[in-house]
Structure 1
Amino acid sequence: MKFFRALFALIFSILLVGAGVVSPFVVNWLRHLPDYRELDSLTLGSTTKVYARDGSLVGILSPTMSNGGHINRTLVDLDQVSPYMQASVITAEDRRFFEHYGVDFLGILRGIYKTVKGERLEGGSTLTNQVVKNTLLTNLADKRTEPGGLQRKIQEWVLSIQVERSFTKEEVLNHYLNVIYWGRGGAVDILGVHGAARAYLGKLPRDLTLAESVYLTRLIPKPARYFDYKGMRGLMKSLLDDMVEDGWITAQERDEAWKEKMQPRGWKVTYDDKGNVLEARLVNEKAKNLPSVVTERAPHFLQQVERDLIAKFGREKVYGSGGLNVYTTLDPKAQDSAEKASMNAQIPPGATLAMVILDPYTGEILAMVGQKLKPGQVPVEWNNAAQGARQVGSSIKPLLYTTAIEQGITQDHTEFDEPTDFGNYKPQNFGGKYAYRDLSLRWSLDHSLNIPTLKLAKKVGLNNFMSKLRTMDLHAPDDVGLSLAIGTLETSPLKMAAAYAAFVNGGTWYRPSYIRRVEAQNGRTLYDSWRDRPEKRRVFSPQVAYVGLDMLMGVVNDLTPEQGNLAYKAKIPGWQVGGKTGTTNEQKDLWFVGVTPAAVGAVWVGRQEGGGMPANFYSGTVNPPIWQSMMAGYLAGKPPTTFAKPDGIVYRMVDGHQAAYVTERARKAVRPTGGDPTPVVYQSVEKPPEDYSTSMVAIDTRTGKLADEFTPPDRVKLRRVYGDLTGFMQ
């Protein structure tokens, strides 16, 4: 004790002398500490449950720290953990837990003393220290030898003291049991006592016996001990003895626990009557994989749901008020199909991908995969489907061509195809090939030619096209130049799918949505997509949108592979399909965005860090098969339907193909307004009869309310009604 007192006095004196010198720097440094109050959200009652559209559980949103630190998705309260587990953890990891205030200075001094004497290094880390380290300070180095190690340790101590002042010992222990790392479980990390109990023993935390609790506790410092069960027995014996010494258990309980014939998952162990291990064989080293432990599905979709919820309600509502029940747009069949397609996708070495499926009539997201999935591996968290912004290449061309249709240009309009200087901009067709003749819009889109497309863009007007793109939430820099027409726009697969949805639904853009309904724990509805309608706007008339759709179907169907069809591999037997590929310079980004009458989908392939891919990989060979696999799996078993054709469409032959045109009468029904067309008038209402107690009205058969500009023509029915129309307008 004399040594400890002298050492403490020396350290205290040094700290006093240095305090006056460094205090200004320390104050500034401490201002940048994480907020320890974030730990408030680590409680069982704060979990938010997320469900798919069929009512099945997608996952549980338990909090993440603001710096990105993650905790176990399945939180447990302290009364759901065996008392033996609690006692064994305290005994093994922090025997002075109830005596210190977050930092065990006596333990630190003891560690220094042993280090000076050349004995085993002890860090004196407390349970509180480990909670802080595993949540608030996960982004800092955790190595004693690194220069930042001392800084990290001091921050850890300061935060630990703050935590101890604000939380009870029981709360700190509860947090520890929920966040501590327990090793790998196949494709995922085992975090928290719930995951550990399920992974290693196939049990719930509340059902753990004394022997099982001791076994799990001895895995905490070194999870690799799982592979040496015989070696674990000695460690378990010493911990049982320590628990008797500390008064947690009796000697009889210790002896009974020692004789328990425990069988960790994957092991076959035989014992004698005294509890000694006779034989221990690891019969299945993959037994602690966690498909049954981790209930989370569709991780990238779930990630976006979490962001959306926090944006709508704030962290406190999501995590601090008992949690929420969230009913999402996710379709399990669509998600399974997308994940299977991602798993089987043949893409260039070192590349990844993104995939999304949308309901074109509502903007609801049915499926989302943000990375290339690989068996047994956790996907990277970055979500290319929603967070990525990549050049879209030729997949933008259908939006330009349809804008031209809106201005009165038709599919048989021609542009001369030859090398062209656009004034310090000398683009080429793919492969440097030119026809040296007039080519129709349909031909040019079928063959994805750049020169006719750029000439068309000059006629449409770049500002007009940019304005049109903005109506679909596609934003290009003001100085992008004419190259915008052939794909220098940067955006996400999700936004491209939403833009293409307008071709299917009659010209309406819907803001993509993840959530249908949100309920508080008391059942009160906080959000309902039917009541709180997601944003939508008309971007094309139904007739113009249908001509654009007709051109998209032409891309998939007009040509044979020998004639240069880039999208024929997207065909789905029995279904109408349209779509467009996109390949950027040096094959940096490969795209296919496609449509069917039931769903719209987008597939992007590229390198996560950017950069070109091998020259023999391009969008026509890579993306359509992936898209087809994803969409065909989702559509399997559904009765095929066809695209709804509005009134005001006629067909003429263009380059040997039936091509859609807007009739003159239908065109006059819409005043041209550049990028923001006026809503189309579908049909006139008959003159009111002499009896003014009745009226003839156009009804949307889907809602039973008055039809508006967003109602597809085939859903409009004329009905005679009596009296006031107010009820239909609510």
Structure 2
Amino acid sequence: MIRLLKFFWWSFVAVFCGLLLGLSGAYLYLSPSLPSVDALKSVQLQIPLRVYSSDDKLIAEFGEMRRSPIKFAEIPPHFIQALLSAEDDNFANHYGVDPSSLMRAAGQLFSSGHIQTGGSTITMQVAKNYFLSSERSFSRKATEILLALQIERQLTKDEILELYVNKIYLGNRAYGIDAASQVYYGKSIRDISLAQMAMIAGLPKAPSRFNPLANPVRAKERRDWILGRMYKLGKITEDEYQTALAEPINASYHVPTPEVNAPWIAEMARAEMVGRYGSDAYTEGFRVTTTVPSNLQEDANKAVSAGLIEYDQRHGYRGPESRLPGRTRDGWLQELSKQRPLNGLEPVIVTQVDKAGLSVLNRNGEQQHVAWDSMKWARPFLNTNSQGRAPSQPSDVAQVGDLIRVQPQADGTLKFSQVPTVQSALVSLDPQNGAIRALVGGFSFEQSNYNRAVQAKRQPGSSFKPFIYCAALDNGYTPASLVNDAPIVFADGNLDNVWRPKNDTNTFLGPIRLREALYKSRNLVSIRVLQALGVNPTIDYITRFGFNKQDLPPNLSLALGTATLTPMEIATGWSTFANGGYKVSPYLIQKIESRNGDTLFVANPPSVPAEPGATAGVAAPEHSLITDSTSPALPQAPAVATRVVDGRTTFILNSMLQDVIKKGTGRRALALGRSDLAGKTGTTNDSKDAWFSGYNADYMTTVWTGFDQPETLGRREFGGTVALPIWMDYMGAALKDKPAHTQAEPEGIVSLRVDPVSGRAATPSTPNAYFELFKSEDTPPSVNELGNGSAPGSPLPADESAPIDLF
């Protein structure tokens, strides 16, 4: 008996020593490769990039992982109890490893022949999640155990729990408990019920198997088991237990919903952040504040959408997107599930046609009504310039099975509509510093993410003429200078071609004042002015507005706006007119903050001096980037924009551009009832591009409309009919209740009465004399002074019909 006891004793000692030696050997073998636990104290969890409007409304979120880190003190006690009851109820007592859990896992392995559970504690899961892979092997498990022991020695239990709840994956791209609470319940973990906390606490074991969205039955079983464990362990009362058990499964999919519809702004901000920080932009939790106020962006969205729909409906109905007659209701719903709303235009299928209108099926399986009154515009589209006969009843427009688009109205009704094929872009800048205040790159980002505001180079037509006139005013011309609006012929000796430019009305007015020529948009005057100034000197002058020289054609067609420029470039150049002669550059990002709220960057763009007439200082380079990716932003003196045009020139040009609205091609804008607006229409050959650029001192806004593949907008469509209404809708909303604001009159401006016939200073007896603005050194002579011809700077060639070399 004694010998048997000695055998068992020495066997136990041998096994114990063997285990001790094995563990020691494993530690000595693995310890050199163990990562430092100190790294956990400064760990940086992946947090997505978030982009906000200037008034702190969410525009977009970018990143693979949805995560909102939470401090341990912010975690509700009930959630901690639910988590520990589900994952590690002995967490408070063990030192990183729970031998009983490991033995249970080993027993399952020996009995079944494969690994069922790992016997991991929360501390071991922290070690795996932060340092190790998900590989199932004994060496990885040994490393996990050793790391867990080290973690317990260097971190408190609260610190370990905080690391765990912020790292774990909980399904649907949610990492961490607060992100999961937002995804499944649309609110923070601090604001959900006990039953909902138990539901989230059940996810770490198997996020897909116990997901309340994918498997609500199994998720409820897991939730109820956790609640039972909490009750059994005395963590909740019986009343709390019974109330939580009775709560239904009410999880639904929530994603961070943008509060502002600004997809092109979001994409521009994302691209700039990636340019600055590379792939870290998506993971480092940057908070980007843009220069775009939410209300102005929404105003721009509405203006572009309404303007394009209005134009599109003027040209007729192109028919349904598809015809699906004979299908069942389920077949229709299957087809609708493939469709997406486009800028508020919802896809529906016609299920019945009667005299009152249409019955339609929407994507939710609901039947709705479309009234006949909203369909009367739908004359058949024949081509851009003609439509068929007006419909007399709904059946002339639609049939059962038609997939069409409807536009929901504020009162709950639906308007018959269609997705426009025409496109538009709107850019609105603060002319004082170049801040982008609103930007729309097309009808629908879902339809096409091509950003026409910054990518589409199109001919600006007559909206480019103010740059030619600005050059003239800076070279001796005045608004009273007379230029001959008469036929002119240009010969190209090399190509044996003849160019006979004409006005859009095919009329000629003879000698005409420069002011009148601008607001009447006379092409021949612009060409003669450019010819007198010289093409190359004028191009050199115009590049000061920020244009690239290679985009400006080196010939007289430049006077008609044949340059290829983006709406952003046009808006930037026009800002100089609006701000009194200073060059500004557009910028979008106002501020960048780190995950901890530290300010990493604050924009300091070169801006117009606050006081009229102040001299420009040294412009800061490229928006004054004053910080790197790790250091807080340092304060810097305001950068001052560089003056590129005489303030007197822009003041006079501003008054001429105001006449475009008062009595020229932009007269429709008088409906806004403002005295501080200036602008210019633009329409290219065959009406392929239509523009309106205009401003006051607060906002400079450019609108372009056209087709992506250039084609005519229609014989009766111009900048004043297509682009101007969009501009008016936006500027009317943007300037509502704002006082008039325009450039202050600089020193050196003289107002004189002028003879409208000769352009000279009028005498008291001169008939129809009017007041005109001049620079003090460019005042015209009196009509009584000797000499013939026009005012200075007003070339009138003797033989207007003589061919002139184009090049």
TM-score (norm 1): 0.56
User: Does 1:509 find its partner at 2:583?
Assistant: yes
Trace 1:21-60 onto structure 2 (pairs within 5 A): 43-44=46-47, 47=49, 50=52, 52=54, 56-59=55-58
SS of residue in 2 equivalent to 1:439: strand
SS of residue in 1 equivalent to 2:741: coil
What's 2:561 paired with? 487
What's 1:341 paired with? 303
SS of residue in 2 equivalent to 1:489: coil
Q: CA deviation at 1:554?
A: 1.4
Partner residue of 1:569 out of 661, 664, 669: 669
Q: CA deviation at 1:392?
A: 1.5
1:373-420 Cα deviation digits (max 9, x unpaired): 6xxx85754333234332212110111111111111223321332263
SS of residue in 2 equivalent to 1:491: coil
5+ unaligned residues in a row in structure 1: which ranges?
Answer: 1-39, 65-69, 90-167, 183-190, 267-287, 560-564, 669-730
Q: 1:427 to 1:362 in 2, by over 3 A?
A: farther
Q: 1:341 to 1:419 in 2, by over 3 A?
A: same
Give the root-mean-square deviation of aligned CA atoms: 5.3
Q: 1:218 to 1:624 in 2, by over 3 A?
A: farther
Q: CA deviation at 1:525?
A: 6.1
Q: Partner amino acid for 1:578? A: A
Partner residue of 1:557 out of 638, 641, 662: 662
User: Does 1:619 find its partner at 2:719?
Assistant: yes
SS of residue in 1 equivalent to 2:672: coil
| % identical aligned pairs | 21
Partner residue of 2:571 out of 484, 497, 500: 497
User: Does 1:649 find its partner at 2:762?
Assistant: no
What's 1:665 paired with? 777
What's 1:429 paired with? 502
SS of residue in 2 equivalent to 1:390: coil
What's 2:197 paired with? 209
Partner residue of 2:604 out of 516, 529, 535: 529
Q: 1:203 to 1:504 in 2, by over 3 A?
A: closer
What's 1:628 paired with? 728
Aligned 8 A contact 2:657 2:679 in 1: yes
SS of residue in 2 equivalent to 1:448: coil
1:526-548 Cα deviation digits (max 9, x unpaired): 44517365673322101111222
CA distance in 1, matches of 2:170, 2:582: 46
Aligned 8 A contact 1:352 1:372 in 2: yes
CA distance in 1, matches of 2:654, 2:471: 12
Partner residue of 1:445 out of 486, 496, 518: 518
Aligned 8 A contact 1:419 1:428 in 2: yes
User: Does 1:314 find its partner at 2:314?
Assistant: no
SS of residue in 1 equivalent to 2:681: strand
Comparing 449-458 with 575-584, greater Cα deviation is found at 449-458
5+ unaligned residues in a row in structure 2: which ranges?
Answer: 1-42, 88-147, 149-161, 313-419, 606-635, 758-767, 781-807
Aligned 8 A contact 1:453 1:485 in 2: yes
Aligned 8 A contact 2:49 2:284 in 1: no
User: Does 1:416 find its partner at 2:528?
Assistant: no
What's 1:331 paired with? 293
CA distance in 2, matches of 1:609, 1:222: 51
Aligned 8 A contact 1:493 1:602 in 2: yes
What's 2:765 paired with? none
1:236-276 Cα deviation digits (max 9, x unpaired): 468879999xx9999999x989954325379xxxxxxxxxx
1:174-222 Cα deviation digits (max 9, x unpaired): 789599479xxxxxxxx99978754653333574434478899999799
CA distance in 2, matches of 1:240, 1:179: 16
Q: CA deviation at 1:234?
A: 4.7
Aligned 8 A contact 1:417 1:439 in 2: no
Aligned 8 A contact 2:422 2:707 in 1: yes
Q: Partner amino acid for 2:187? A: K
Q: CA deviation at 1:343?
A: 3.8
User: Does 1:398 find its partner at 2:466?
Assistant: yes
Q: Partner amino acid for 1:550? A: S
What's 1:599 paired with? 699
Q: CA deviation at 1:433?
A: 0.9
Q: 1:487 to 1:212 in 2, by over 3 A?
A: same
Q: 1:178 to 1:232 in 2, by over 3 A?
A: closer
CA distance in 2, matches of 1:469, 1:249: 79
User: Does 1:470 find its partner at 2:432?
Assistant: no
Q: 1:176 to 1:631 in 2, by over 3 A?
A: farther
What's 1:538 paired with? 643
Aligned 8 A contact 1:511 1:534 in 2: no
Aligned 8 A contact 2:184 2:251 in 1: yes
Q: CA deviation at 1:593?
A: 0.5
Partner residue of 2:250 out of 254, 264, 285: 264
Q: CA deviation at 1:663?
A: 2.9
Question: What is the number of equivalent residue pairs in this alignment?
Answer: 506
Q: Partner amino acid for 1:261? A: E
CA distance in 2, matches of 1:465, 1:222: 71
Aligned 8 A contact 1:588 1:607 in 2: yes
CA distance in 1, matches of 2:168, 2:522: 61
Aligned 8 A contact 1:517 1:529 in 2: no
Q: 1:514 to 1:667 in 2, by over 3 A?
A: farther
Aligned 8 A contact 1:570 1:625 in 2: no
Q: CA deviation at 1:662?
A: 2.7
Partner residue of 2:257 out of 274, 293, 296: 293
